[in-house]
Amino acid sequence: RRCGFGEVIYGEGKDFELIARIIDSQIADAQTSLVTRVHPEVAEKLKSRFPHGHHHVLGRTFRTHLATEAPCPAPIDPSAPIDPSERSFHVAVITAGSTDAAVAAEAIETLTWMGVAVRVFTDIGVAGPQRLIHALPELRKASAAVVIAGMEGALPPVVAGHLSIPIFAVPTSVGYGATLGGLTPLLGMLSSCAANVAVVNIDAGFKGGYLAGTIIRQLENARDHSTPSENSSLKESQ
């Protein structure tokens, strides 16, 4: 089977009734839903109403899968060895500091909802350069990366100096003063001279994950059998 990309609902300021109504109409169309920035209380009500759904507290997400199916694959344990015989495309999600965990969770939940495999690399800040060096051999196996960093946001260009895959940089609002609530890492990531860094909105873990996921999905299609023009038909079927 293939996990389709359903509807994504921006949960900020939406109440339980409105969100439940959208999820219901998605189910009626045999589609899944992903709610981001959902209020904890709303999420708990959604969990009661859609017991097959999954609420991630830190990531503030709620995702549904079609009730008749097993959930989409869970994140790969980063410490587990990768099976070299398998051509399993996956996304690397990399965080600079432990305070970026909530944004990372949003990215991982989005990829999991898309049925895309993820490997997570935490606390790879530029202040501790050894950690990145050690992670490089494993990082090189990914087909796209989501790099999450606040404060000066220096991690994405540093990672990009080592990899030739597309890197989706997610600035976070972590920091104070001159970080301007995330504007500083946002502008820094855009200014980077690294050629393979694209940027999404501040704290937009969802977007970083989603963009990386659309690449993995196309790679799987290309590997398996489909023609390139098929990838776009996904949108039409939505």
Which of these, 74, 44, 84, 79, lies nearest to 62 by C-alpha position?
Answer: 44
Which of 28, 70, 80, 127 is the binder for ligand AMP (CB under 6 A)? 127
Residue number, 203 or 218, with CB nearest to ligand AMP: 203
For residue 134, what is the DSSP state? H
The minimum distance between CB 58 and a second copy, in angstroms, equals 11
Which of 20, 27, 37, 220 is the binder for ligand AMP (CB under 6 A)? 37
Where in 151-190 is the site for a second copy (CB under 8 A)?
151-154, 157-158, 160-166, 168, 171, 173-190
199 scored as a contact of a second copy (CB under 8 A)? yes
141 scored as a contact of a second copy (CB under 8 A)? yes
122 scored as a contact of ligand AMP (CB under 6 A)? no
Do residues 104 and 133 lie in contact, with contact meaning Cβ atoms separated by under 8 Å? Answer: no
Piece in contact with ligand AMP (CB under 6 A), picked from 3-11, 47-55, 76-84, 134-142:
3-11
Which of these, 205, 212, 159, 213, lies nearest to 182 by C-alpha position?
Answer: 205
Site string for a second copy, 28-47 (x = CB under 8 A): --------------------
Encoding tokens for residue 232?
């776009």
- 10 Å CB burial of residue 69 (0-12, 13-18, 19+) is exposed
Encoding tokens for residue 113?
């909802």
93 scored as a contact of a second copy (CB under 8 A)? no
Site string for a second copy, 117-136 (x = CB under 8 A): --------xxxxx-------
Show the DSSP H helices in the chain as ranges.
Answer: 16-28, 40-49, 101-114, 129-139, 155-160, 183-191, 205-224, 233-237
* Dihedral sign (CA 47, 50, 54, 56): negative
Terminal Cα-to-Cα distance of the chain (whole angstroms) = 17
Residue number, 19 or 118, with CB nearest to ligand AMP: 19
Piece in contact with a second copy (CB under 8 A), picked from 39-47, 53-61, 65-73, 137-145:
137-145
Task: Reduce the DSSP state of residue 127 to 3 states and report it.
Answer: coil
10 scored as a contact of ligand AMP (CB under 6 A)? yes
Site for ligand AMP, rule CB under 6 A:
8-10, 36-37, 97-99, 127, 193-195, 204, 206-207
